[in-house]
């Protein structure tokens, strides 16, 4: 897959999945633009000094002005990949409205704002582009969201947004898709679930490979897909 000189935004690029994806992208020649919450996050990212990596401190991704500014400075934009989000467990009867709103903001609103800004940036070019969102297994299998209903609902909304947007912009040469991971094999998840069978979980490099294809010029026909990336779990 040839990403030479293609500019790509990766939100959540400093996380475990993001790092694996950025490594794969720069190996294929891409220039990666990674928004960070603050300077501390930027300094922790081990690829920060790579010549094909540009870190931008934007603050929250729920700020429309900051997001518009981020994308306005990138030209031409080929792809926008939205890994950033958040998880919160808890029974709905015990959940505050604020906690529910936080899940919607972290997962749906940030995704929507980045999609909108990416489309405006791509419209300034002539080659179309690619958008890849991240849903989650409960977005496809609602019952698996028991105990984290607000998270499941916000990720299901991301899936619906992806499918609807894909139809809206296909004639502009923009293909929009999403992946839906189960529990990723990351150090944080291992620490949180020390008795789990980690061998069943999808590896971040494997999920990154799926995203890489969906974001690539080689993907010429897939749109509106919510691709399960469950490993053997």
- pLDDT in the model for residue 83: 98
Q: What pLDDT sits at residue 123?
A: 94
Predicted local distance difference test score (pLDDT) of residue 127: 87
Instruction: Report the greatest alpha carbon distance in the chain.
Output: 51
Of the chain, the percentage scoring pLDDT greater than 70 comes to 100
Fold of the domain built from segment(s) 7-229 = Rossmann fold (3.40.50)
Q: Kindly report, residue by residue over 92-124, the tens digit of the pLDDT.
A: 999 999 999 999 999 999 999 999 999 999 999
In angstroms, the CA 229 to CA 227 distance is 6
Domain boundaries, the chain: 7-229
Q: Mean pLDDT, the chain, as a whole number?
A: 96
pLDDT at 1: 85
User: How open is the CA angle 151-162-86, to the nearest 5 degrees?
Assistant: 25
Q: Give pLDDT tens digits for 124-157.
A: 988 899 999 999 999 999 999 999 999 999 999 9
For 58, 109, 214, 232, the CA distances from 67, given in Å and listed in that order, are 7, 11, 23, 36
User: pLDDT grade, residue 176 (50/70/90)?
Assistant: very high
Q: Residue 200: which pLDDT band, with cuts at 50, 70 and 90?
A: very high
pLDDT at 126: 81
Contact assessment for residue 168 and residue 202, using Cβ atoms and an 8 Å cutoff: no
Mean pLDDT score, 167-172: 97
Sign of CA pseudo-dihedral 102, 177, 135, 158: positive
Distance CA 224, CA 20 (A): 24
Quick: pLDDT tens for 25-42. Answer: 999 999 999 999 999 999
Burial class of 36 by CB neighbour count within 10 A (0 to 12, 13 to 18, 19+): buried
Averaged over 212-230, what is the pLDDT? 98
Q: What is the pLDDT of residues 36-71, one digit of tens each?
A: 999 999 999 999 999 999 999 999 999 999 999 999
**pTM of this structure:** 0.96
Distance CA 231, CA 193 (A): 17
């Amino acid at each position: 897959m040839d990403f030479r000189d293609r500019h790509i935004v990766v939100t959540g690029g400093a996380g475990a999945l993001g790092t694996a994806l950025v490594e794969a992208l720069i190996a294929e020649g891409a220039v990666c633009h990674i928004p960070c919450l603050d300077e501390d996050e930027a300094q922790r990212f081990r690829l920060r000094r790579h010549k094909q990596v540009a870190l931008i401190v934007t603050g929250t991704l729920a700020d429309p002005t900051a997001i518009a500014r981020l994308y306005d400075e990138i030209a031409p934009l080929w792809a926008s990949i939205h890994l950033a989000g958040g998880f919160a467990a808890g029974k709905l009867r015990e959940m505050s409205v604020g906690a529910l709103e936080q899940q919607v903001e972290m997962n749906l609103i940030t995704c929507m704002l980045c999609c909108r800004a990416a489309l405006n940036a791509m419209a300034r070019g002539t080659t179309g582009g690619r958008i890849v969102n991240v849903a989650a297994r409960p977005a496809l299998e609602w019952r698996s969201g028991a105990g984290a209903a607000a998270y499941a609902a916000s990720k299901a909304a991301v899936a619906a947004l992806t499918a609807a947007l894909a139809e809206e912009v296909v004639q502009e040469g923009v293909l929009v898709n999403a992946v839906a991971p189960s529990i990723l094999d990351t150090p944080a998840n291992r620490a949180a679930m020390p008795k789990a069978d980690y061998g069943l979980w999808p590896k971040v490099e494997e999920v990154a490979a799926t995203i890489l294809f969906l974001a690539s010029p080689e993907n010429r026909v897939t749109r509106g897909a919510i691709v399960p990336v469950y490993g053997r779990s």
